[in-house]
Structure 1
Amino acid sequence: MRVTAAETLPTLDFDPFDISYFADPYPDQERLREAGPVVWLSRYGVRAVARYTEVHAVLNDWQTFCSSRGVGLSDFAVEKPWRDPSLVLETDPPEHDRARAVLQRVVSPIVMRRLRDNMVAKADALVAELVARREIDGIRDLAQAFPLSVFPDAVGLVHEGREHLLPYAGLAFNAFGPDNELRREALARAAPHVAWVTEQCRRENLAPDGFGAQIHAAADTGEITADEAPLLVRSLLTAGLDTTVNGIGAALYCMARFPDAFARLREKPALARGAFEEAIRFESPVQTFFRTTTREVELSGAVIPEGQKIMMFLAAANRDPRHWQDPDTYNIERRTSGHVGFGFGVHMCVGQLLARLEGEVLLDALARRASDIRLAGEPVRAFNNTLRGLDSLPLVLTPA
């Protein structure tokens, strides 16, 4: 039975999962922000928050706005999940903390420092090759190729079958949406991708020195159970790839559209991390997530009953003029601390350190190897119920 708003809320009827919205979400995101701090989306019978203050508040209060009932439109209290819930994304403390502690150790800042030299070398070699070629597809040749050249090896995956990784991650994020064509098509194609990923998450199929083996080793010490270990490897595969691919794609798209930003990056390559971080804020590869209220709560004057879905527009919050100065400007020297592109609070994206490292070393290599990045054709959008990214990005790279 569809819920109705118990209080008077501003109401909007647009579909945030429609292809036309995905193609140009900014007008509707502005309408959401200006309509009020909490808005009723009549199409799906859910409340929505799009201003930075409310999105940040919901993300930070897991006790009131839980993830364990699903971070998509489906409510796990009344609907069966399409697969076993994620131990980090779709659980709450204390269960969440136990699993997350393992992942945070496996992909800690210390581990990232150990990986850095190898990633720098691989990024430099790849960019040198592509700059010599001049005309490339920024998504296929860079945004996808680089993470796929370093991340599966770090996890300890076999080489055969890695083509299943991107479709599986896309499937997981599509499944957070409603029962629309994107979700149905993704689930219809799911079987081979799910089967391969499930099999590779088993201990015996992982290299002994990779992230996956380290996660399984946590079962030996009792931090997690043997049954939980493959689910946690699966969570890492989902968190560590698609957000990185779309984040790098966003940064490349920004560099091609805003040549002054790339010129500034060339002058000061140390801005590479900031340039990537600003691209995450500016483009928000992860557009939305849901939470469910565990009790009646008042949020910015709106009383929300227990058991209600809240749709958070992370992308709209990342361009909220109440919080950001000139939010629609891509500024690689902006102080981006506090953006919600990787989420916030206890459920903040567990793959963010990997994404940041990969994005930084690639942009640094581009700043050294290329004197100019230009669009060579019209980019093609990749449509997903949760993610914003590109399927193709024709670029021309001019050697430095």
Structure 2
Amino acid sequence: MTSPEAPVRTEQQVPSLAGDPFGETVLSDPFEFQRELRERGPVVYLPEYGVYGMGRYEEVRAALVNWQAFLSGNGVGVNPARQHPKSAILELDPPDHDAPRHTLEPLLGPRRLARFKDEWVDKAEALVDELVQREHVDAVSDLAEAFPLSVFPDAIGISDEGRESLLLYSDHLFNLFGPHNALVERGQAAFPEIASRIEDQVHRDALAPDGFGSELWEAADHGDITGELAGGLVRSLLIAGIDTTVHSLGAIIEAFLSAPDQWQALRADPRRARVAFDEAVRWASPVQTFFRTASRDVVVGDATVPEGEKILMFLGSANRDPRRWHDPDSFDLNRDPSGHVGFGMGIHRCVGQHVARLEAECVLHALARRVSRIEPAGEPSLHLNNTLRGWKTLPVRLVPA
């Protein structure tokens, strides 16, 4: 996976780390690669793609906050943004980033989301009741996918038809942030048809009048954003509120399987559901990586990243950096995980994070009341993606309380 030899130095005196961070070996089990990345130094050259990488918490967090030096506008993938559908918020820098961010933040903030809480609680309880009766379930398809798809498209105002396409759509877009490998090829053929179907659903006339989507179009009427941007932001909502939430919910179940005592701690005090969510995001990092581009020669530690070079931010590595976290490989509800970078940091911090938190809180409260133990019930299988890390299947037994 990585070279056992002494690090090779580039002309900028940056240690080099061989290996493919987007190869199946590392995507399936990234922890050794990330450990070596952190040990090599605060910034490392990755010759496989001719880019730089950061894996330590302090440097990753500082770079995410410093948007002036580490740009997103040139694309947060390995290729320039123009080579794939550009995100209406994720791949913009100020001042272009300001209007869409200021429009979305209050829309997806805790105060506005509160209107959905009772409905989402009822749906979570109904779903968990059904799953507990079945006892043996797939925590991915039956829970982590089923719940977000049942609540968030309604909040946006998307019709019921074709919701299963949302997962394929989002998955392919996150794959496009990596190289053109087999994962991209796998989704390439079906993507144009799926994207066309999604495009039809984000138009003003297709959206329910009381959802987030229509509110974005109203913002365009008021001149806060352009009409073109309104449709792009509805698409961004579908990504921010679906795929990352699915993988976060899967990560929570995986975390409790790894630490059954922590499940009992949550059952004893369900108010810790929000801490459990953030600790699971730190521990599992459903969003593993994103790129930035150096706007100028940037000094990191003793090295210089030249202007115009791509830097791969390993969020998953930063979230398990022992320089920042005690016993980082353990899932622990006694930890304060609030500094994690699993949702990014700074002006590009995930705008949909409050959606994911509320959905997880509803699900965890319902599970804590009805399930005494969560046990493995078969061999899980990973879902590989160039940017995300999660499960394709996660068979579990929900032992009724």
TM-score normalised by length of structure 1:
0.97
Match of 1:70 in 2: 75
1:302 aligned partner, one-letter code: A
Deviation at 1:188, TM superposition (A): 2.3
Deviation at 1:264, TM superposition (A): 0.8
Deviation at 1:5, TM superposition (A): 4.1
Match of 1:384 in 2: 385
Match of 1:135 in 2: 136
3-state SS of paired residue (1:227): helix
Q: Does 1:221 align with 2:222?
A: yes
Q: CA RMSD in A?
A: 1.0
Q: After superposition, give the CA deviation of every residue in 1:334-369 in whole Å (9 maximum; x if it has no partner).
A: 101110000000001111000011111111111111
Deviation at 1:114, TM superposition (A): 1.5
Unaligned runs of 5+ in 2: 1-8
Between the aligned partners of 1:123 and 1:361, the Cα distance in structure 2 is 6
Match of 2:159 in 1: 158
1:131 aligned partner, one-letter code: V
1:203 aligned partner, one-letter code: R
CA contact 1:256–1:373 (8 Å) conserved in 2: yes
Q: Does 1:107 align with 2:108?
A: yes
Match of 2:38 in 1: 33
Deviation at 1:333, TM superposition (A): 2.3
Match of 2:305 in 1: 304
CA contact 1:11–1:40 (8 Å) conserved in 2: yes
Aligned counterpart for 2:54 among listed residues 42, 46, 49: 49
Between the aligned partners of 1:256 and 1:34, the Cα distance in structure 2 is 29
Between the aligned partners of 1:185 and 1:380, the Cα distance in structure 2 is 17
Match of 2:19 in 1: 14
Between the aligned partners of 1:40 and 1:296, the Cα distance in structure 2 is 15
Between the aligned partners of 2:70 and 2:197, the Cα distance in structure 1 is 33
2:239 aligned partner, one-letter code: T
Match of 2:374 in 1: 373
Deviation at 1:186, TM superposition (A): 1.8
Between the aligned partners of 2:176 and 2:276, the Cα distance in structure 1 is 30
Deviation at 1:15, TM superposition (A): 0.5
Between the aligned partners of 2:252 and 2:155, the Cα distance in structure 1 is 23
TM-score normalised by length of structure 2:
0.96
Match of 1:243 in 2: 244
Unaligned runs of 5+ in 1: none
Deviation at 1:187, TM superposition (A): 2.2
1:379 aligned partner, one-letter code: P
Between the aligned partners of 1:303 and 1:21, the Cα distance in structure 2 is 26
3-state SS of paired residue (1:95): coil
Between the aligned partners of 1:357 and 1:279, the Cα distance in structure 2 is 14
Between the aligned partners of 1:274 and 1:105, the Cα distance in structure 2 is 23
Between the aligned partners of 1:265 and 1:105, the Cα distance in structure 2 is 30
Deviation at 1:115, TM superposition (A): 1.3
Between the aligned partners of 2:348 and 2:361, the Cα distance in structure 1 is 23
CA contact 1:275–1:333 (8 Å) conserved in 2: no
Matching of residues 84-95 of structure 1 within 5 Å: 85-95=86-96
Q: Which runs of 4+ in 1 moved over 3 A?
A: none
- State percent identity of aligned pairs: 51
